[in-house]
Amino acid sequence: MSRNLSGKTVLITGASAGIGRSTAFEFARSSSQNLKLILTARRVERLEEIKKEIANEYGTGVKVHIVKLDVSNPEEIDEFVRALPEEFRGVDILVNNAGFMSGVEQPPDVPRQVIQNVYATNVFGVINMTQAILPIFKARPDGGKGDVIMLGSIASRDPYVGGTIYCSSKAAVAAFTDALRKEMIGTRIRVMTVDPGQVQTEFNLNKFRGDQSKVDESYADRVPLTPDDVAEVIVFAASRNENVVVADTLLFPSYQA
């Protein structure tokens, strides 16, 4: 059974592009009468555009608050939460989406800065943001309630050549997610992860060091997942009745082994 998301406040990290952007639109589509979206990313000008598009499509039914935020910086996360306007303070759903893969992940030649950056964003960003939002869930008068949804990856289950740092970062997030889900048993806080295979986003441009022809080659004549495909599953998980935890969903394009 599904629950109505009307009245909810949804926080999405990395909402300026790809899956995060699609997830913002999918939440708006699913509950366009009374929804609040907090959209964060570093490219705030893209967030401005998304805010305008949502206002054009949904009017005042969906209120959007945008914030420039680098999740790899823990102080920025703390300041972001401290500065949330009253109207948006009651976060109900956190989507930990911000993440990236570098194109230089072959040891022993991985630059130290790449290792630091990938972990700072994909692992510490997720853990620090979750830690910052859980007190909001726990402070609810009804004893604590909320959803944390991670963007995991097939990379955590089936690590691949050229992705040593990224795959290990997603494995760390998978373990954090599963342990946190167990930690929250007995509360009304749900912890879930959606693990996609290949999705057609700017992510792949990073992976192939900005070489669009290599990205195109990687799809060949196949049809990868779209960011909308993934967003639909995220909103599906968030809109299950409270007794249901969509703990871990693996989502492949039909060609992927």
Interface with ligand NDP includes 193 (CB under 6 A)? no
Interface with ligand NDP includes 229 (CB under 6 A)? no
Long-range Cβ contact pairs of 160-166 (< 8 A, separation 24 or more): 162/105, 162/106, 162/207, 163/101, 163/105, 163/207, 164/105, 164/106, 164/107, 164/110, 165/101, 165/102, 165/105, 165/110, 165/114, 165/115, 165/118, 165/119, 166/100, 166/101, 166/102, 166/105, 166/118, 166/122
Site residues (CB under 6 A) for ligand NDP, limited to 16-35: 16-20
| Start-end of H helices in 39-163 | 44-58, 74-82, 112-119, 125-138
Which residue's entry shows tokens 């989507």? 95
When the beta carbons of 44 and 55 are compared against ligand NDP, the nearer one is 44
Catalytic-residue membership of 170 = yes
- CA separation for the pair 121, 101 (Å, rounded): 10
When the beta carbons of 102 and 201 are compared against ligand NDP, the nearer one is 201
Choose, from 8, 51, 170, 207, the residue flagged as catalytic: 170
Catalytic-residue membership of 52 = no
When the beta carbons of 38 and 199 are compared against ligand NDP, the nearer one is 199
Q: Closest approach of Cβ 114 to ligand NDP, in Å?
A: 13
Interface with ligand NDP includes 163 (CB under 6 A)? no
When the beta carbons of 29 and 33 are compared against ligand NDP, the nearer one is 29
- Catalytic residues, by residue number, are 166, 170
Interface residues with ligand NDP (CB under 6 A) are 13-20, 41-43, 69-72, 97-100, 121, 151, 153, 196, 198-199, 201-203, 227
